[in-house]
Structure 1
């Protein structure tokens, strides 16, 4: 993605706010040598060293997760508001363009399992169930159902 220098964000708190507000993003990797994209909700958190950590969850039925072991880098694309900009708005000759907000996050992926996975699933569900009547919680689901998913 080309980023004009005037439009480049350098402020981590602003970027983190954007990621939290636009958390349904696209995970891009390679599966069998071809680009593969999956649209997922993400949670932005920090590790014990204060570094930003993104976490998401792929369904077992999605073949993308099987290709992640040993993968060097992944890309997660977060998109915000966007709009077409007509060149008729300028007082000089120009081309039409598109105004948009997007953040590309590149990083290493790490597979988790066991209790760490369960903690992640609880946080993911709890994050998106806030304020909903009859909240769903991982803790109230049967263990056999959670394991099957």
Structure 2
């Protein structure tokens, strides 16, 4: 991913927090020599050595699963908030732009066992049921229902490199108050999230 220097995010702790909060990603590999992408939860985790990894699963019927070569190279894309930035919000004439946060992770994929898939599913469900009014648990589900795990292929990804772009009008610091105000006035959840990020990182 092309990242101008002033938009590059290198603080690993902040990137990891972003991944935890924005874990619905895009898994990309090669299928029949063409890029193939699947939109799925891809969770940040650690392996038995305490090293950061990504963990996820896809349907066994998905053709992408047939091209999961152990130690094969993959790309995972995680998108955060984004918003159009009108140049009418600037003090001086300039073209409009777009602010956004995105993280790309390159790594090696390894297929995991059914037991490891089930362990990752327990973590996944517990994470997202935490704030439910009536949280469910896989522990309470029947053996028959949980047999659906046989219909998925689980994987872990060892991380080779991380690229993070936080494009937040860093080159227009003098216009930040106006941009933030206008973003908040839109009442758009994504625009307001970008405004909050600009406040945090300015």
Same fold (TM over 0.5): yes
| TM-score normalised per structure 2 | 0.67
Q: Write 1 or 2 for the structure with the bigger share of strand.
A: 2
8 Å CA contact 2:27, 2:39 repeated in 1? yes
What are the ranges of 5 or more consecutive residues in structure 2 without an aligned counterpart? 152-202
8 Å CA contact 2:43, 2:56 repeated in 1? yes
**CA offsets, 1:86-129, max 9 Å, x none?**
33444445332211000001111111113222211111111111
Q: CA RMSD in A?
A: 1.8
Structure 2 partner of 1:145: 145
8 Å CA contact 2:76, 2:106 repeated in 1? yes
Structure 2 partner of 1:75: 75
Deviation at 1:141, TM superposition (A): 2.2
SS in 2 for 1:61: coil
Structure 2 partner of 1:120: 120
Matches within 5 A, 1:54-69: 54-69=54-69
Single out whichever of 23-32 and 139-148 deviates more from structure 2: 139-148
Q: How many residues align?
A: 149
Residues 134 and 88 of structure 1, relative CA distance in 2, 3 Å threshold: closer
What are the ranges of 5 or more consecutive residues in structure 1 without an aligned counterpart? none
Single out whichever of 9-18 and 66-75 deviates more from structure 2: 66-75
8 Å CA contact 2:70, 2:111 repeated in 1? no
SS in 2 for 1:49: coil
Which protein has the larger Cα radius of gyration, Structure 1 or Structure 2? 2
Larger relative contact order (CA 8 Å, sep ≥ 6) = 2
SS in 2 for 1:120: helix
Measure the CA separation in 2 of the matches of 1:99 and 1:117: 36
The alignment status of 1:3 with 2:3, answered yes or no, reads yes
